[in-house]
Structure 1
């Protein structure tokens, strides 16, 4: 099972130190509650982001002025994992964060008062998705059910990766408990597959495209599409206390995110340029990134289906009440 978020909350002070200022529309300051200055000034909000390509949408929105148009001065803080940002948001070290919805649902199940403000990124409902399970070309694994008794790498257990892989196998009649999961960092998955330490690798972009361009590997399938097509991969969230005490700021943030993500979806070239800057990667390489569908839409059905799966596999103690978690 996942470590309890209550334990993570106890280490919120440590988390806050571990998070690093990344950048903003103005010089980055310390995190904390938003503050309104004099007449006409901007309200400073601290937003936690993961150091991955989709997170660059927030930088894109800052660069285009969509947040300042709503009266917000966005300060970035970057972290290495979504779970680390939950206690920071809950304790008030961050005002908002962007992370995977599963972690937010688990946090709520553990008693943290969290609110999902907007959607952010989603897997692709049909066609080529942004994550996949990949096997070697000569592997005997031909279908999801063949994963029973095999070892599959995921970046972390009890996440949307192993959850949807287990359900994909179960849908074909296999025992999901017979699948072994090994925690392997995405950049190391290909090497572990080559060495025979794992039988299949679950990887997102850009690792997926890199492996599939090599004739020594082949696609087994897209577990998100198999189980919950269009599954949200990230959402923006805040604490219940912040949402209640700063309702106007939350609505401004929500509107700015909607404007930003609509623009990002239409301007892929500009978005990828921002991603290159955000990730400090080569501009030409950034333009080749395959991106999730970016949208602020709150996909309540898919989130509810995710919650049902989480309960089925005991990631949470009860069916999450998604509706009560949404800022509408």
Structure 2
């Protein structure tokens, strides 16, 4: 019980910090005419005559805060990898993927790190948005239950109440896809409720309001480390969960910036896959309330789902596409070649 109370306190601090950060970032979002890589690509940062100094570019990058699925970018920002390569990252955190993509379409962002489903939705709307790489192949959420809960598999959850961050979100999609594999209808056989994240999700599970909840890292490792919780289901399939997406007209004008961003991201991945301790150090700057041993576990779990070469797989893209067709978001599959461009990867 003591460990659970400590976890509540830590998650509450993290939740408050996240909301504060997201609020500040959204309030300070630059307008469409307030810079961006297109304007900065012609500027230099290192003074004339220094041939070894890379040309400096500014890239406005959006991500959904509070979790670790954008881990490669988070590491690169926190350990200075992008900066050393002459890339100034203006990071903006959002609480909603939809709001983040709206900022991309509106011109307030250059690159967005988000689910491939957003690419499909923008393509359906006739907008030129593509995925140029992938930094996380998976849903990014696992179903966590109390350690002493009687459930041993998804089949045992029929008739139960389950929590997702928000109905209709990626966590909801991941849960429903899992339930389908054991012939449980997410609309009829269980009740799915909004559980939020962090302390609010923990409260829903701890109080018994929900039999289990979809949780992301580092909260998963933090909950399991208390000895009071366990992971019942971790979606095992390929899923284009976090792609590097941008508007095609921005990429056409800023190919060097996008290529450099992808190259540095790939170098970060290759390095930390071999030296996970360096990744832990960088991620503790992102989540300073998380104990180092817990972060070590979380980093290991996350890095296992970063694809080699940052390549979007056709299977992962198809799985996302199928969920969007079933949800009625798109009517039919959009060709992979129309939505993904891997030509700028190193």
Superposition deviation, residue 115 in structure 1: 1.2
Alpha-carbon contact 1:48-1:96 (below 8 Å) kept: yes
CA distance 1:310–1:298, change in 2 (3 Å): same
Deviation of 1:266 (Å):
2.3
Q: Kindly tell me: are residues 153 and 282 of structure 1, through their superposed partners in 2, closer, same or farther at Cα, counting changes over 3 Å?
A: closer
- Report matched runs for 1:239-278 at 5 Å: 239-278=247-286
Equivalent-residue separation in structure 2 for 1:69 and 1:215 (angstroms): 41
TM-score (norm 1): 0.77
User: Is the 2:240–2:320 contact (alpha carbons within 8 Å) kept by the matching residues of 1?
Assistant: no
Q: Distance in 1 between matches of 2:291 and 2:211?
A: 34
**What CA RMSD, in Å, does the superposition of the two structures yield over aligned residues?**
3.1
Residues 63, 173 of structure 1: CA spacing in aligned structure 2 closer, same or farther, 3 A cutoff?
Answer: closer
Unmatched tracts of structure 1, length 5 or more? 1-14, 22-29, 125-129
Return the offset for 1:107: 3.4
On the 8 A contact 2:68/2:217 being kept in 1, the answer is no
* Residue 32 (structure 1) aligned with residue 42 (structure 2): no
CA contact (8 A) 2:79 2:282 kept: no
Deviations 1:216-236 (A, max 9, x none): 5444222x21xx2x4343121
**Partner deviation per Cα, 1:157-180 (whole Å, 9 max, x = no partner):** 223322232222222223232232
Pairing 1:309–2:323 present: yes
Distance verdict in 2 for CA 1:74–1:219, change over 3 Å: closer
Q: What is the match of residue 87 of structure 1? A: 102
The Cα shift of 1:140 comes to 5.1
- TM-score between both structures, scaled by the size of structure 2: 0.74
SS of 2:298's equivalent in the other structure is coil
Say whether 1:298 aligns with 2:316: no
156, 160, 163: which is aligned to 1:153? 163
Question: Separation in 2 of the partners of 1:182 and 1:235?
Answer: 27
Equivalent residue in structure 2 for 1:61, among 76, 92, 107: 76
Alignment of 1:1-328 (within 5 A): 18=26, 20=28, 32-34=36-38, 35=40, 36-37=42-43, 41-51=55-65, 52-55=67-70, 57-62=72-77, 66-67=81-82, 71-123=86-138, 131-137=141-147, 139=149, 141-178=151-188, 179-187=190-198, 188-214=200-226, 216-222=228-234, 224-225=235-236, 228=237, 230-281=238-289, 284=292, 287-291=295-299, 292-293=302-303, 294-295=306-307, 296-328=310-342
Q: Give the number of the structure whose residues are more often strand, by fraction.
A: 1
Question: Contact 1:46–1:96 at 8 Å: present in 2 too?
Answer: yes
| C-alpha distance 146-19 of structure 1, shift in aligned 2 (>3 A) | farther
The residue matched to 2:251 in structure 1 has which SS? helix
1:149 to 1:98, Cα distance in 2 relative to 1, 3 A = same
Query: CA 1:70–1:137 in 2, change beyond 3 Å: closer, same or farther?
Result: closer
Which segments of 5 or more consecutive residues in structure 2 lack a partner in the other structure? 1-22, 49-53
CA distance in 1, matches of 2:55, 2:98: 33
Residue-by-residue CA offset, 1:77-115 (whole Å, 9 max, x unaligned): 222232222111122211112122333333333443211
Distance in 2 separating the partners of 1:171 and 1:85? 31
When residues 58 and 286 of structure 1 are mapped into structure 2, their CA distance, relative to the original with a 3 A threshold, is: farther
- Equivalent position of 2:3 in the other structure: none
